[in-house]
Structure 1
């Protein structure tokens, strides 16, 4: 039998949260005052979106708790080697994509797009020398800049520093750089360990996937993909950066088209 996903945790799917959070999850590691311009002349032009990637392979038998345990180990190892994405992070992206395909199939959110967001936001949990521990938690924790309005959004403190450690202003947290308001609305135990933590790659990726699929129900189309990623962050350069990563990851594992067999001469 195919392994089935069981997620322990609460997701507060409030429709009004979309309006509140649209554009409020920001590219917090971009240089102040930058990040939204066109690529340099020497750079390859950024794609406008990322078409659907080939879906990940579901494990025949669950290999562990949470979303990471439903991904086929052979697919995971081969795809990690082909893309350079660490296996823990890749298991989170692929597991979240499988979960959304089962629960919201119309969404069309791919593992490659989630990986593109994770690469852009935190280098798959490795920003600033952090690493993912055995449970998938970023160590040390990843915190974005204070959202003081200087080249970033102005977001006054909303959590008393409980989530982001800052009692004065909000900061994005974790591998997917969720602001406290986003985490409160979309918190989930993606790792299946009974703990909800925005610094955990499984929890953060599934929360981001739930948010994205509420923001757009058609990631398989260019319009839907752009609307969904724009809800995460508005600048065109951000959309292009996520798309570039996602396209590269998808192409790295896409099976090559067989060359046509020449017709023998009569």
Structure 2
């Protein structure tokens, strides 16, 4: 079995995980996870160092999605199985953060690992990423009614999550309304801040991670950042496994 095939294998989880950090809450809903390239006897609980994405010589437009070299995106997408539009989001945001906050040291593979676990890169439930970066149909988590989930009454009158009774996690990086209000951003440069847009959602997640940890390049700092995104040790290890699998598969 080649590495691309191994990366494309899917296992379904049914756990609903909750984290609260820095005054925000992110809810993780049932999703698909990519297998690691190879099981390791003692897998590191952090993402190994990875080369930065290849930057575009001349960005084709505004928005972080245009910062990566198109040939790099196409090549890495072929090897990892990550959709090109999702990979452009991860790579572009990583390049942006490297310029804006180099001390954070956030790698594209960490963002890809989180995106894989949260929504299978925007493909959860049959969704796909459109040309503008917005997922369709929109991705909504389960109602957080307290029945086998956290109990979070509605905070947005259903404006963001379509539920006027309880909150739901939304979008490819699974923000709930109150968290999105803290981290909203228009990274896609389309004039709209949308948690269902992968460019906006990935940048919001990157800002969150770099706020939670000032050094995502160090093992302890990486664990602190991803652990703030979700306190579960299983989640942290799953993101590490996915990130390291993508690093190994990338040419």
Normalised-by-shorter TM-score class: 0.7 to 0.9
Give 1:28's aligned residue.
Answer: 29
Give 1:52's aligned residue.
Answer: 49
Moved more, 117-126 or 234-243: 234-243
Give 1:88's aligned residue.
Answer: 85
Give 2:98's aligned residue.
Answer: 101
Q: In structure 2, what is the Cα distance between the partners aligned to 1:66 and 1:86?
A: 18
Matched residue count: 226
- State the structure with more CA Rg: 1
SS in 2 for 1:26: strand
Give 1:206's aligned residue.
Answer: 203
Q: In structure 2, what is the Cα distance between the partners aligned to 1:26 and 1:48?
A: 21
SS in 1 for 2:156: coil
Give 2:123's aligned residue.
Answer: 126
Shift of 1:127: 0.3
Post-superposition Cα deviations, 1:6-54, rounded to whole Å, max 9, x if no partner, equal: xxxxxxxxxxx95312xx21322269xxx9xxxxxxx766641112211
Q: Does the 8 Å contact 1:18/1:214 carry over to 2?
A: no
Normalized per residue, which structure has more strand? 2
SS in 2 for 1:25: strand
C-alpha RMSD of the superposition: 1.9
TM-score by length of 1: 0.80
Q: In structure 2, what is the Cα distance between the partners aligned to 1:239 and 1:126?
A: 21
Q: Does the 8 Å contact 2:138/2:196 carry over to 1?
A: yes
- Please point out which of 228, 235, 238 is paired with 2:225: 228
SS in 2 for 1:121: helix
Q: Does the 8 Å contact 1:52/1:108 carry over to 2?
A: no
Q: Does the 8 Å contact 1:63/1:69 carry over to 2?
A: yes
Q: Does the 8 Å contact 2:123/2:129 carry over to 1?
A: yes
Q: In structure 2, what is the Cα distance between the partners aligned to 1:146 and 1:233?
A: 19
Post-superposition Cα deviations, 1:114-160, rounded to whole Å, max 9, x if no partner, equal: 00000000000000001111111110000011123344322221111
Q: Which has the higher contact order (CA 8 A, sep 6+)?
A: 1
